[in-house]
Structure 1
Amino acid sequence: MSPRTSSIDRAAEVAAFFDGARLTLGRQLAGLRKSDLAALVDKSPTAVAAWESGAKRPTAATVAQLALSLSVDPGFFAVRPEDVAALSTAPHFRSLRSTSQLVRDQAYAYGKLAVDIATSLERQVEFPDSDVPSFPVHVDVRDGDGPERAAQLVRKEWGFDFGPAGHLVRLMENHGVLVVFSPSQTASVDAYSFSSRLRPVVVLNPIKRDYYRQRFDIAHELGHLVMHGDAEPGGRIVEDQAHRFAAEFLMPADQIRELIPATMGGNAWRTLARLKEQWGVSLQALLYRARWLGRLSNVSYRNAMSTISTRGWRRNEPGLINAIEQPSLLPRAVELLEQEGIDEAQLIEQCRVPPALFRTATGRTPDSELPATSSTDVLRPGGRLVSLLERRQKAMEKAADEV
């Protein structure tokens, strides 16, 4: 059977189980408006809107055209066990004014696709359960210590009351958060996050290669997941609260206040450099924290930031660590399944997603500079990746022992 015949046959199969939400997802992934897609398939925008809403269903021939126009397999449009879009909250983007709605939709569509991939892989691999604490913080006031108490709660429940937070991406994955890098076409969007009843998600910017700033980004997005499940994204108060959460999460006031210099004379910069490496935060974050906690006066803070600018450190601070933190959950899942004879092509076929986006989400693109780590490094005891085949084998062994 030729590839063209195979595609047409699949389109005919999919037409009967066509899901309009999948068409919306595919269109947004491609960065297209309804009118753009309508022009590509020589139909009206009204027709595209009707297919997406479920009011009408496209013919098999049109499904094939849609798949070709969006560079997806026809099977992409088939109904799934779960509707990721319906189960997800609005994403928290840093600035709603710096990027267009079209670009934000494209970025959010990729995040939902990552959940789709993870859900598909979970049919054969057991991931850690999600246990992100919920601590809603009202966003109609600036006062109060809600963000700080939320950060303290997470540190306590996640078992590290004292000291610096370790590998943040690993920590998030250990607690069931899906962390992925966005594809290059959405690199203009900074890190963002959204909650899903399937799995909470944090999407990191692939261009930002600063270890220290990336960690603050991750903590900031964790703050949104913890505090802002029902909050309207993008507001100044919401973003300020996420920043305060991140600062307390990474630099707890009661632990770092007395360590930060009270003046910028003497060995202050050397002390800050040492704290930067110990706590995994930028010099600028430490200076801002020092002012927030009352250790530095406004004048001293402004003078220190002026020095930062003069030395060219606004965007390129000196630091010992060059490699950013890398996600491991999905890459390890793919690696584990390959060890059991299920190759990448089979997984892509199972997920029915564009191969390039599958490789980006699972960290198997050239952008992944670090080698894969072992499963014992990836997840904590009791939460490691376990294939369903391995689980079945252990169950059989246990049953045999009991006999």
Structure 2
Amino acid sequence: MSRASTRGAAPALAVAAFQPNALTLARRWRRMSKKQLAVHTGVTAAAVSQYELAQARPSAGVLGRLALALALPVEFFAAGFPTPATPGHAHFRSLRVTTQAERDQALAFGEIAWRVIDVLQQYLHLPELRLPQLDIPEPATAADVEGAAIESRTAFGLGDEPVPHVTRLLESHGIIVLTLPDASDRVDAFSHWYGQRPFIFASPGKNDKARSRMDAAHELGHILLHHDAEPGSQILERQATTFASQFLAPTSRLRDELPGRLDFDRLHELKRRWGMSLKALIYRGHTMGVYRDHTYRRGMTLLADGGYPEPGDLGPREAPSIVGQAVRLLASDGMQLGALATRSAMPIELLEAVVAAGTDPAEFNAPPESTNPSRWHS
């Protein structure tokens, strides 16, 4: 049965087009175990497993109870969205801080967002994916990773000047950037491929411009360098941090601009210029040999004593905008959120959560930009 014919289908027709992966997706999004879902629907946990493994199909009555327990329309389970191909693994940081259920929920939100992107692309041309193809040796040295960052800056047309807006840069090159919903506030920033696009998810708990820029550049490092690598390795995390630091501020410029001593007035100027935290600047100075060990330790101690956030706030985090721009562009042509929710086979509250995750609050009432994204498909 085609996607168009299942949307708005009655429960009996939805049963005929039931997709096991959609049940798994919904359960992980609601952070429910199979046993918990079974209790809410009057079936056994074994039956839920059989539904998800395509070993059995729920009756119309059971599917209705599953939909009610998961607060989703029955069409969600029969909308024709396959599980997106996901090359590589999601790169989560702080694996020991979050539970598997929390990470599963964050990944489920990503797949739900992918559904919305899939629908948007039926009507609009989103920015084409244009990323540099990097080839670095394995194992890679710090110099190899720094070279990859400089190569990436060149590919993005940055020269050796600061990146004006990291998130906008990534969006303009086809990466989908979203802020995780508040329910996932314990999950740090991470990246993952859904279908043909990489997604970057920012933490909702970090309302700091410098940290958001570093996080976005860090995840770009994972996307470009660690296609097939097993996540969780501290080596990979250090490589992504090295990439991000060099991507945000190339050594060729920063070395000459850093003060030779801990001159915080000058460091604050550089913080505003490069959009990097004082901590990141002092760390870079240490790795480049500008600051000796005792100077580095003293700087970090002073910043630690000052607490968080560090002084010299640059303002709120960089926010994504491409999804919000697309939805407002469709609305200007008559397609409102309700119609988009129907086409995505999800309740409007869930669609609104995805749209909010991809909208810059500062631009919410602004007209859609003509360059992002383009109008209807022909």
Q: Per the shorter chain, which TM-score range?
A: over 0.9
Partner AA of 1:148 in structure 2 = E
Counterpart residue number, 1:398? none
* Separation of aligned partners in 1, 2:135 and 2:75: 39
Residue 362 of structure 1 is matched in structure 2 by 355
5+ residue gaps, structure 1, are: 1-6, 393-403
Match of 2:293 among 295, 298, 302: 298
Determine the structure 2 residue equivalent to 1:401: none
Q: 5 Å matches for 1:75-154?
A: 75-84=75-84, 86-135=85-134, 141=139, 143-154=141-152
Which letter maps to 2:373? L
Cα distance change, pair 311–144 in 1 and its aligned pair in 2 (3 A)? closer
Work out whether residues 208 and 313 of structure 2, in 8 Å CA contact, stay in contact via their aligned partners in 1. no
1:120–1:46 CA distance, 2 compared to 1 (3 A): same
Measure the CA separation in 2 of the matches of 1:195 and 1:95.
19
Which residues in structure 2 correspond to 1:40-79 (within 5 Å)?
40-79=40-79
| Identical amino acids, percent of aligned pairs | 33
Distance 1:259 1:62 in 2: 66
Contact residue 115 and residue 178 of structure 1 kept, 8 A = no
Q: Distance in 2 between matches of 1:172 and 1:228?
A: 17
List aligned pairs for 1:337-352, cutoff 5 A.
Answer: 337-352=330-345
Task: Quickly say closer, same or farther: Cα 1:209–1:147, change in 2 above 3 A.
Answer: same
- The answer as to 2:373 corresponding to 1:385 is yes
Q: How does 1:202-241 map to 2 (within 5 A)?
A: 202-241=200-239
Using the TM superposition, name which of 12-21 and 364-373 deviates more.
Answer: 364-373
Deviation at 1:79, TM superposition (A): 4.6
Gaps of 5+ in 2: 1-6
What is the distance in 2 between the residues matched to 1:205 and 1:311?
23
1:288-328 CA-partner distances (Å, limit 9, x unpaired): 0000111100100111111112233xx21223532221211
For residues 188-231 of structure 1, give each alpha carbon's deviation from its aligned partner in whole angstroms, at most 9, with x where no partner exists: 10111112332110011112111111110110111111111101
- Aligned residue for 2:201, secondary structure, equals strand
The amino acid of 1:202's aligned partner reads: I
Q: Structure 1 pair 364/355, CA: closer, same or farther in 2 (3 Å)?
A: farther
C-alpha distance 369-36 of structure 1, shift in aligned 2 (>3 A): farther
How far off is 1:63 after superposition? 1.1
Identify the residue that residue 346 of structure 2 maps to in structure 1. 353
Q: Which amino acid aligns with 1:200?
A: P
**Which one-letter code corresponds to 1:99 in the other structure?**
T
Native 8 Å contact 2:319 2:360 kept in 1: no
**Residue 395 of structure 1: aligned partner:** none
| 8 Å Cα contact 1:337-1:343 kept in structure 2 | yes
> Secondary structure of 1:195's partner?
strand
The equivalent residue for 1:333 is 326
The residue type paired with residue 121 of structure 2 is E
Deviation at 1:385, TM superposition (A): 1.1
Partners of 1:304 and 1:149 lie apart in 2 by: 27
- Matched residues in 2 for 1:344 and 1:115: separation? 16
- Residue identity opposite 1:103 in structure 2: E
Aligned AA (2:293): N
Q: Evaluate the alpha carbon distance shift between residue 72 and residue 89 of structure 1 in structure 2; reply closer, same or farther with a 3 A threshold.
A: farther
Query: How many matched pairs?
Result: 372
Q: Distance in 1 between matches of 2:175 and 2:357?
A: 19
Q: What does 1:12-27 correspond to in 2, within 5 Å? A: 12-27=12-27
1:4 alignment counterpart: none
Q: Structure 1 pair 112/81, CA: closer, same or farther in 2 (3 Å)?
A: closer
Distance 2:211 2:230 in 1: 25
2:276 is aligned with 1:277: no
Give 1:226's aligned amino acid. L
Deviates more, 1:71-80 or 1:214-223: 71-80
Correspondence for 2:282: 287
2:306 to 311, 314, 319: 311
Q: Does the 8 Å contact 2:178/2:357 carry over to 1?
A: no
Partner of 1:399: none
Offset at residue 280 of structure 1 (A): 0.4
**8 Å CA contact 2:142, 2:239 repeated in 1:** no
Residue 4 (structure 2) aligns with: none
CA distance in 1, matches of 2:313, 2:367: 24
Say whether the 8 Å CA contact 1:64–1:74 is kept in structure 2: yes
Report if the CA contact (8 A) 1:130-1:199 is conserved.
yes
Q: CA deviation at 1:121?
A: 1.0
| Amino acid aligned to 2:286 | R
Checking the alignment, whether the CA contact within 8 Å between 1:134 and 1:227 is kept in structure 2 is no
Q: Which secondary structure state, in structure 2, belongs to the residue aligned with residue 54 of structure 1?
A: coil
* Change in 2 beyond 3 A, CA 1:8/1:249: closer
- Matched-pair contact (CA < 8 Å) for 2:178–2:320: yes
The alignment yields a C-alpha RMSD, in angstroms, of 2.2
The secondary structure found in structure 2 opposite 1:194 is: strand
Q: Structure 1 residues 324 and 372 mapped into 2: Cα distance closer, same or farther (>3 Å)? A: farther
Pair 1:16–1:128, CA change in 2 (3 A)? same
Q: Which moved more, 1:163-172 or 1:190-199?
A: 190-199
Contact 1:257/1:295 (8 A) holds in 2: yes
SS at match of 1:80: coil
**Contact 1:8 1:60 (C-alpha < 8 Å) held by counterparts:** no
